[in-house]
Amino acid sequence: MRHLRKTTKLGRTSEHRQAMLANLVCSLIAHNRVTTTVERAKAARSVAEKMVTLGKKGTIHHRRQATAALKQADAVKKLFTDIAPRFAERNGGYTRIVRLGQRRGDAAHTAILEWTEGAQPVAATEGDKTEKKSETKE
């Protein structure tokens, strides 16, 4: 049983897993939305939320901690200047996971990991596409 085991291993060594999650969070910071598997999204969500918490504190010590975790200075700069101020009034819950269904090639369950503030919900953008398609068909 996995009692008190918080880390999902994702079939990787610890170094590979940390690097993969850091890259995933950096992509989330750069693009505000990332499509990945549900398991990776759940693992990256905790890393992303910890980085936003560091960004909200904003001291040089917290900036260095974020740089040590993410390994990309430009992502840390955007995190501290753009993303963390959006969540100044919010106490957690900075990201959402929207499930998409299964991937065609290997039937892996996919999801979108995105920020809750400043991003349009996925359902609204998909609904806009279907409305446009139905308008052109008529």
Q: What is the CATH number of the domain that holds 28?
A: 3.90.1030.10
Does a structural domain hold residue 6?
A: no
- pLDDT value at residue 21: 97
Q: Are 44 and 25 in contact (CB under 8 A)?
A: yes
- pLDDT value at residue 6: 86
By three-state DSSP, how is residue 2 classified? coil
Domain residues for 25?
Answer: 14-137
Q: How far apart, in Å, are the Cα atoms of 70 and each of 10, 19, 26?
A: 19, 8, 7
Number of domains into which the chain is organized: 1
Does a structural domain hold residue 2?
A: no
- pLDDT beyond 70 at 126: no
pLDDT digits (tens, 9 = 90+) for 37-76: 999 999 999 999 999 999 999 999 999 999 999 999 999 9
- pLDDT beyond 50 at 138: no
- Which tokens go with 4? 């008190």
Single pTM value for the model: 0.82
**Rounded-to-5 percentages of helix, strand, coil across the chain:** 55, 15, 30
Neighbours of 32 (CB within 10 A): 15
